[in-house]
Amino acid sequence: MKILQPLSAPVGRLFLATIFFTSGLTRITSYAGTQGYMDAMGVPSMLLPLVIALEVLGGLAIIFGWKTKVVALVLAGFSIASALLFHADFSDQMQMGMFMKNVAIAGGFLMLVAQGPGAYAFDNSAAH
């Protein structure tokens, strides 16, 4: 446990944030398709550049433990908002699973808000 304790925080941040970082990159390469999906769901596609920036930069911030509590709170809110906007069709088992995944991710981010970034984070540096 002595070795696992300091490694669990940076690995946990990496696992939690990778989905956002990679999703943001994917949205760049499938920009038009994502715009169409957002429009079809009633979400203004003009927000897509902000979504991409939040996912890519927010994901990197969490991975590196920079401004962790603030970024984690924003990403928790984003996760809940996207669950409600895109995955609230509870008659579809797949959408319900996606909804619950987003809720679980939000829970992980709220743990970062409460506990901070843990070991190996820029937030712990003297320059912070």
Per-residue model confidence as pLDDT tens for the chain (128 residues) = 788 888 999 999 999 999 999 999 999 999 999 999 999 999 999 999 999 999 999 999 999 999 999 999 999 999 999 999 999 999 999 999 999 999 999 999 999 999 999 999 999 986 65
> What is the b/e burial string over 14-27, where b = at least 16 CB atoms within 10 angstroms of the residue's CB?
eebbeebbebbeeb
Q: Is residue 26 part of a domain?
A: yes
Q: Is residue 49 part of a domain?
A: yes
Q: Is residue 33 part of a domain?
A: yes
Q: Is residue 125 part of a domain?
A: no
69 touches 110 (CB < 8 A): no
Q: Model's pTM, two decimal places?
A: 0.94
Q: Is residue 87 part of a domain?
A: yes
Counting the structural domains of the chain, the total is: 1
Q: Is residue 127 part of a domain?
A: no
Q: What is the extent of the structural domain holding 114?
A: 4-118
Q: Position of tokens 């957002």?
A: 38
